[in-house]
A and B are shown apart, each in its own frame.
Chain A
Amino acid sequence: MAVKTFIEAIREALAEEMRRDETVIVLGEDVGRKGGVFLATDGLWAEFGDDRVIDTPLTESMIVGASIGASVNGLRPVAEIQFADFIHPAFNQIVSEAARMRYRSNNGFHVPIVIRAPYGGGVHGALYHSQSVEAFFCHVPGLKVVVPSTPYDAKGLLKAAIRDEDPVLFFEHKKMYRSVRGEVPDEEYTIPLGRASVAHPGNQITVVAYGLMVHYALDAADRVAEEGISVEVVDLRTLRPLDRETLLGSVRKTGKCLVVYEDNRFGGYGAEVAAIVADEAFDYLDGPVMRVAGPDVPAVPYNHVLEDWFMPNPEKIAAAVRTLAAY
């Protein structure tokens, strides 16, 4: 077992899947010779060549639309959108086409593609290199949405996503690419989509998070532990399909639930989590379902003071935990 960075785990998953299955191709902006702007695909072009590692024009709709077509004719494209902020030109292809192909053809066609995109703030990326876009896509039946938080999960989930028979959006927090390390087994493994994990066991408050926010929640859990508050951190890993069993199991045990997400608060993914907990675990709750989320401004501002103001962090999460613990 070796310790690897988050981005090394992504790169290994891609390379191993491309070696295992010759129908897997990678396409996107700068993914070839350069290896991607974050180097997630570094080395793939040298190993697999022009046919299977395709530098595309700056055409996000084409990246997804052509992936859809290639997938119905026998390939398994892994499309990279350079930043999640730039995925919106492909929205129609993702929502009207990829997500609906199986349903609208009554299982006649399906679209086994993965769309990878770096997301998230805290990296001085400002309004157009910091966004969290998962809520747009989690709303859409027919899509699967994965947001890993550890190198181990990233590798296992990406491999599962590539092997999945339906379109998967795979969001990677760019701040974690090199700052998060973890053990990754040498042997082959996958992690099934749709299963959350308990990242830290506890019994007084459930904190639900995904992506970078899992790390901040773990940090917050450590801080309040010194004050005698026991926090259970649930890492959702896959946002759609949601692992209701693990989520509700934890909340029924602790009786309190705090949802943490980096996206804008209003209508964010955490709102759905809160609604499900309210619907299905009401009898177990000892306090309101609370949220820590980004403020309702269009996106993350650039200046570091403003960026810090926008971003959820361990202090903000710990403060919310203390408030909830007081109920």
Chain B
Amino acid sequence: MAVTEGTSRIGDLGRWAGLSEADLLAMYRIVLLARALDERMWILNRAGRIPFVISGQGHEGAQVGVTWALQRGHDWIAPFYRSIATCLTFGMTAREIMLAQFAKANDPSSGGRQMPGHYGHPAHNILSVSSPVGTQILHAAGIALAAKLRRTGQVAMTFMGEGASNQGDVHEALNFVGIHKLPMILVVENNGYAISVPASRECAVEDVAVRAAGYNMPGVVVDGTDVVACYRVAREAVDRARRGEGGTFIEAKVTRLTAHSSDDQQTKYRSPEELEAQRARDPLPIFRRQLVEAGILTPEIEERLAAEIRAEVDDATAYAEAQPDPTPESGAWWVTAEDVPPGPAGSGAAPSGAVSGGVSSASGAVASGGALGAVGQS
């Protein structure tokens, strides 16, 4: 297991990692956007306009850093319920995130069927999230298996918390990835809590990445408040995976700045001192300071970004809230392929992906199809 060197010890922010100033600003913009959306979600919840929030605050820096290493539109992600910034980095828009909060008919994640936080987007290779934790690691292993057999050059990156790391599915997945050297990267966003239970009561080890040794793959611990360091470890993992050298277990140490969800009261199990101390682990001001000190983030840019993000979140909120709810009869659709909406050849079915708007992110030319035929998903 390796502990990654922090960005602060290396001058020239980003350049050593192959990131341009434009990249860094685009990454920062997603961190800002994810935070602003998340804060808006809580306001909407407390105002009684959405029933539930599950939050990614404190995780955004790690999420943007690692996800930036992938090729959008080519690679795959199997996220979890805190993956707002991950999904934004991989192609989802603010409007699409807000459609999930309001559970509207044109929500690309689920058409309003799932709780908020259960994102998914077929057009962006973002696999649908469920609630049982850790199941998606097996899906990512299977995606990676298909990528290897079909020789697509794709990498599957999957995300979870340290609480999920104790699930049997995770062990089964990593073992399989290790045996077949599959192009899969597991990112554990270790925020120290599984709802109310501290990591010391969940895991027999302090760094869950040490478990990687049992799967014959590298395990890397990285400071999840250090966006560029997160990018760098993910970049190395992606390169390894593309070279056919197998999986990587990345553990990003993050903090959970909010309660587990809108139905949780974390002051019951976290002291005021602890919560105050955790504010210092907020990746947003840390990344901001790095960018300011590097001379990349100027007051003019900050002002522009703030205005843009405010407008984007306002637009996303207003847009999503105004969209129609699903119709009652649509509840019976899409149990199987035969359960189609009425009408000529199921023409009423517009499953997903029609919302416009975008965030800049990692680029990606799509590699050619491989030995085992074309992709079969709609």
Chain A residues in the interface with B (C-beta under 8 A)? 21-23, 25, 51-52, 56-57, 59, 61-62, 64-77, 89, 92-93, 96-97, 100-110, 112, 141-142, 144, 164-166, 241
Contact yes or no, A57 B139, CB < 8 A? no
B120 (CB) vs chain A CBs: closest residue:
A105
B378 proximity list for chain A (CB < 8 A): 107-108, 110
The answer, yes or no, to whether B110 is at the interface (CB within 8 Å) is yes
Q: Is the CB of A112 within 8 A of B173?
A: no
Interface size of B by CB at 8 A reads 61
In contact, A69 and B141 (Cβ under 8 angstroms): yes
Residue pair B122, A109 in contact (C-beta under 8 Å) = yes
Complex CA–CA separation, A144 to B168 (angstroms)? 26
A165 touches B337 (CB 8 A): yes
- Contact among A56, A77, A142, A165 with B335 in the assembled complex (CB-CB below 8 Å): A142
Closest to A73 in B: B146
Residue of B nearest to A142 (CB): B335
B377 within 8 A of A: yes
Quote the shortest CB–CB distance from A194 to chain B (angstroms): 9
How far is A89 from B171 in the complex, measured between Cα atoms in Å? 13
- Docked Cα-Cα span, A60 to B99, in Å, equals 36
Q: Please tell me if the beta carbons of B130 and A97 are within 8 angstroms of each other in the complex.
A: yes
Q: Which residues of B contact A51 (CB under 8 A)?
A: 149, 372
With the chains together, A112 CA to B168 CA distance in Å? 24
Question: Closest Cβ of chain A: how far from B348's Cβ, in Å?
Answer: 11
The interface-forming segment of B12-20, B111-119, B315-323 is B111-119
> In the complex the two chains form, what is the Cα distance from A100 to B118 in whole Å?
13
Would you give the 0/1 interface string for B103-146, flagging 1 where the beta carbon is closer than 8 Å to chain A? Answer: 00001111111100010111000011011100101111111111
B168 CB contacts on chain A under 8 angstroms: 61, 89
Among B147, B168, B169, the one with the most A-chain Cβ atoms within 10 Å of its Cβ is B169
Whether A69 contacts B78 in the complex (CB less than 8 A), given A22-B372, A106-B111, comes out as: yes
Chain B contacts for A96, CB-based, 8 A: 130-132, 135
Given the contacts A65-B142, A69-B139, A105-B352, A74 and B375 also touching, CB distance less than 8 Å: yes
Given A62-B173, A75-B150: A69 and B111 within 8 A (CB)? no
A71 to B141, CA, bound (A): 11
**B336: CB under 8 A from chain A?**
yes
**Chain A contacts of B336 at CB under 8 A?**
102, 142, 144, 165-166
A57 touches B175 (CB 8 A): yes
Q: List chain A residues, Cβ under 8 A from B114.
A: 104
Q: In the complex, what distance in Å separates the CA atom of A105 from the CA atom of B349?
A: 13
Contact yes or no, B142 A107, CB < 8 A: no
Bound together, the chains give a CA A92 to CA B172 distance in angstroms of 14
Report B198-235 residues with CB < 8 Å from chain A CB. none
Which residues does chain A contribute within 8 Å of B130, judged by CB atoms? Answer: 96-97, 100, 104
Given the interface contacts A104-B113, A109-B127, does A23 sit within 8 Å of B373 by beta carbon?
Answer: yes
Q: 10 tightest CB-CB pairs across the interface, nearest first?
A: A69-B142, A65-B138, A106-B111, A66-B142, A73-B146, A69-B139, A62-B172, A70-B142, A107-B351, A105-B128
User: In the assembly, what is the distance between CA of A62 and CA of B171, in Å?
Assistant: 9
Most chain B CB neighbours (cut-off 10 Å) among A59, A92, A109? A109
**A150 CB, min distance to chain B CBs, angstroms:** 25
- With an 8 A cutoff between CB atoms, is B76 at the interface? yes
Q: How far is the CB of A169 from chain B (nearest CB, A)?
A: 13
Q: Do A141 and B335 touch across chains, with their CB atoms under 8 A apart?
A: yes
User: Given the known A-B contacts A62-B172, A76-B376, A92-B135, are A108 and B146 also in contact in the complex, defined by CB atoms under 8 Å?
Assistant: no
B237 close to A (CB within 8 Å)? no
Given A74-B150, A109-B127, A109-B128, A62 contacting B169 (CB threshold 8 A): yes
Q: How far is the CA of A86 from the CA of B314 in the complex (A)?
A: 52
Q: How far apart are the CA atoms of A276 and B301 in the complex, in Å? A: 68
Known contacts A104-B110, A166-B337; decide if A68 and B128 are in contact (CB<8 Å). Answer: no
Q: Which residue of A lies closest to B334 (CB)?
A: A107
B334, A106: Cβ atoms closer than 8 Å: yes
B333 touches A107 (CB 8 A): yes
Q: Verify A68–B142 contact, CB threshold 8 A.
A: yes
Kindly provide the distance from the CB of A64 to the nearest chain B CB, expressed in whole angstroms: 8
Q: Does residue B367 face the partner (Cβ distance < 8 Å to A)?
A: no
Determine whether B307 belongs to the interface, using a CB cutoff of 8 Å to chain A. no
Picked from A57, A72, A89, A110, the residue with its CB within 8 Å of the CB of B176 is A57
Give min CB distance, A161 to chain B, whole Å.
13
Closest CB in chain A relative to B376 CB, distance in Å: 5
A69 engages B337 (CB within 8 Å):
no
A69 and B146 contacting across the interface, CB-CB below 8 Å: yes
B22 within 8 A of A: no
Contact status B154-A23, CB under 8 Å: no
A59 to B146, Cβ gap below 8 A?
A: no
Asked if B179 is an interface residue, CB under 8 A from chain A, the answer is yes
Closest to B174 in A: A62
Task: Known pairs A23-B376, A92-B132; list 13 more (Cβ under 8 Å).
Answer: A22-B371, A65-B137, A65-B169, A66-B145, A70-B145, A72-B377, A73-B147, A92-B169, A93-B169, A97-B132, A102-B336, A106-B111, A108-B109
**Are B351 and A72 in contact, CB atoms less than 8 angstroms apart?**
no
- A62 nearest in chain B by CB position: B172
Interface check B250, CB cutoff 8 A: no
Shortest CB-to-CB span from A114 to chain B, Å, is: 14
Partner of B138, one of A23, A61, A110: A61
Q: A73-B146, A103-B335, A108-B120 are in contact. Are A68 and B139 (CB under 8 A)?
A: yes
Cα distance, A75 to B142, chains bound together (Å): 9
Q: Is the CB of A74 within 8 A of B140?
A: no
How many Å lie between the Cα of A316 and that of B149 in the bound state?
51
Given contacts A104-B110, A105-B120, whether A73 and B154 have CB atoms under 8 Å apart is yes
User: Which among B135, B337, B353, B375 is the interface contact of A73 at CB below 8 angstroms?
Assistant: B375
**Interface membership of chain B positions 179-211, coded 1 if the CB is closer than 8 angstroms to chain A and 0 otherwise:** 100000000000000000000000000000000
Is B374 positioned at the interface, with any CB of A under 8 Å from its CB?
yes
When A65-B142, A72-B127, A108-B122 are in contact, do A25 and B169 touch as well, CB less than 8 Å?
A: no
In angstroms, Cα B131 to Cα A72, docked, is 19
The CA of A97 and the CA of B78, in the complex, are separated in Å by 13
